[in-house]
Amino acid sequence: MSNKLRSPWWWIPTLYFAEGIPYFIVNNISVTMFKRLGMPNGDLAMYTSLLYLPWVIKPLWSPFVDVIRTKRWWIVLMQLLCTVGFAGLALSVSPDVFGWSLVIFYIIAFASATHDIAADGYYMIALEQKQQATFVGIRSTFYRIASVFGQGVIVVLAGVLEERLGAIPRAWSITLFASAVLFALITLWHTRFLPKVESPDGSGPSSAIEQRSACSTLPGRTAPEGPCRSGSDVLREFGQAWVTFFKKPGVWLAITFMLLYRLPEAFSVKMLTPFLLDPVEAGGLGLSTAQSGLVYGTVGVIALTVGGILGGLYAAKQGLRKSMWPMSMALALPCAVYLILAAVQPTALWSIFALVALDQFGYGFGFTAYMLYMMQFSEGSFKTSHYAICTAFMALSMMIPGLFAGWMQEALGYVGFFIVVMICCLATITVTFFARRRCSS
């Protein structure tokens, strides 16, 4: 079958599944694995929070992905690097030495962030505008499937192997090696089935239609007129995008909102898995690895997805300004469930499942306002680049609090830690009060 005639169904589902898997392995599975290998909560939260760094700074090298070789080349190369990285992790798992595993996680993180840039650009190059609209729901669906697989299925598999083998390092080695095999198959699939829609030297697409699509994906204006720009044009507009971003009206309020709106979640997210896994005498809930994967990585992710879908429908009907108050409350207040769980330490799994699902549903519903706010703030000549900068602040908002969350929990215990998380809800409410006044609708 010709590359140009191949249906997008051959590659869009697998491409966005592949985009999600490394992200969730890096940012979620790393927490569970290091916790099960005995890393203290303070170190665990700090080191795994730093794994957000590639997503914070990826706008700095996104122009180079646009002008060096093709996006298809970047996609396949980064998937190959992730495959090798997962295999390297499988060989480096040790309860005594974490250094090599951390280094490999950082390499995978940079590869995953670069893959995100290339995949999203490739999506717009390979599809015409009508096809892009048609498949936007498909790509989101398979990214969510990757979320359930990465945070749930892989963790449950590791947990089952822990119980059967009685050896935690070996269980995680096998699990990570299986992930490497899966990603190798995905890489081979894309080597065969990703259409070649760009010229081999990376100078541009291979047809007029593809050229118009490609130009729209480069950093800068979202719908440029005229011929496709050169590398120097891309870099010049990249600089202009950063300058104009910080000249936008209300930029510092917007940055404050992006950094503080999710503060309760930013503190708690790195401690939720340790809280589920720690024994009752240490203040945790004493769940097994498999139970943790089911509670947080499966039921929680499904509730998060449902909340996000309903949040989108609600915001579409009410508008952003009217939606921000209920959404901010939905995001902040359900954090109280973890304070309740820490204080009561229930043994009934159904109650833990229900409370975690409630929190994740509220977070999914409330997060919609955050995404819509970033989109609205990004409107203008450099919409694509400004939104990319906003996502960098989004990643930074999770990284900075996470650096200190573990040490705070060790100092205060789980009950004291979740009290602080509830106090942080005031930050969410405060920035919402000021930000919504600048919303256009």
Based on the fold, state whether residues 217 and 284 are members of the same structural domain: no
Based on the fold, state whether residues 68 and 181 are members of the same structural domain: yes
* pLDDT 10s digits, 91-119: 999 888 888 999 999 999 999 999 998 98
Based on the fold, state whether residues 115 and 257 are members of the same structural domain: no
Cβ-contact 36, 93 below 8 angstroms: no
In a domain, 241, yes or no: no
Domain end: 177, 202, 232, which one? Answer: 232
> Partners of 198 in the beta sheet?
205
Task: Residue 365: name the closest of 318, 322, 313 by CA.
Answer: 313
Based on the fold, state whether residues 165 and 311 are members of the same structural domain: no
Q: Which residues of the chain have pLDDT under 50?
A: 1-2, 202-227
Cβ-contact 118, 74 below 8 angstroms: yes
Any idea what the CATH number is for the domain that residue 331 is in? 1.20.1250.20
Based on the fold, state whether residues 282 and 395 are members of the same structural domain: yes
* Neighbouring C-alpha atoms within 13 Å toward the C-beta of 233: 11
pLDDT computed for residue 387 by the predictor: 86
User: Can you give 202-271 as a three-state secondary structure string?
Assistant: CCCECCHHHHHHHHHHCCCCCCCCCCCCCHHHHHHHHHHHHHHHCCCCCHHHHHHHHHHCCHHHHHHHHH
In a domain, 207, yes or no: yes
pLDDT computed for residue 229 by the predictor: 57
In a domain, 325, yes or no: yes
pLDDT computed for residue 201 by the predictor: 52
In a domain, 398, yes or no: yes
Based on the fold, state whether residues 55 and 131 are members of the same structural domain: yes
* pLDDT 10s digits, 252-304: 999 999 999 999 999 999 999 999 999 999 999 999 999 999 998 889 889 99
Phi, psi angle pair for 198, to nearest 5° = -120, 155
Domains in the chain, number: 2
3-state helix, strand, coil in the chain (%, to 5): 80, 0, 20
Which amino acid is it at 71? K
pLDDT computed for residue 221 by the predictor: 42
In a domain, 240, yes or no: no
Task: Residue 144: name the closest of 275, 34, 306 by CA.
Answer: 306
The rounded distance, in Å, linking the Cα atoms of 121 and 119 is 5
In a domain, 93, yes or no: yes
Number of H helices, E strands in the chain: 21, 0
DSSP string, 44-69: HHHHHHGGGHHHHHGGGTHHHHHHSS
pLDDT computed for residue 359 by the predictor: 93
In a domain, 239, yes or no: no
Domain end: 210, 232, 254, which one? Answer: 232
Which own/partner pairs from 346-355 qualify as long-range (CB within 8 Å, at least 24 positions apart)? 346/285, 349/291, 349/295, 352/276, 352/285, 352/287, 352/295, 353/294, 353/295, 353/299
Distant-in-sequence, close-in-space partners of 258: CB < 8 Å, separation ≥ 6: 370, 373, 374, 390, 393, 394, 397
pLDDT computed for residue 231 by the predictor: 62
Based on the fold, state whether residues 394 and 267 are members of the same structural domain: yes
Question: How many Cβ atoms sit within 10 Å of the Cβ of residue 207?
Answer: 14
Cβ-contact 173, 91 below 8 angstroms: yes
The rounded distance, in Å, linking the Cα atoms of 62 and 85 is 22
Q: Which two tokens stand for residue 38?
A: 């005995």
The rounded distance, in Å, linking the Cα atoms of 264 and 115 is 29
pLDDT computed for residue 230 by the predictor: 60
Based on the fold, state whether residues 326 and 430 are members of the same structural domain: yes
The rounded distance, in Å, linking the Cα atoms of 125 and 199 is 12
Based on the fold, state whether residues 222 and 252 are members of the same structural domain: no
Domain, as residue range, for 380: 246-441
pTM of the predicted model as reported, rounded to 2 decimal places: 0.85
pLDDT computed for residue 352 by the predictor: 94
Based on the fold, state whether residues 122 and 252 are members of the same structural domain: no
pLDDT computed for residue 110 by the predictor: 95
Task: Look up tokens 């109650």; give the residue.
Answer: 351
Based on the fold, state whether residues 228 and 253 are members of the same structural domain: no
Based on the fold, state whether residues 317 and 414 are members of the same structural domain: yes
In a domain, 276, yes or no: yes
Domain end: 178, 198, 232, which one? Answer: 232
Which amino acid is it at 130? K
C-alpha 299 chain-centroid distance: 18
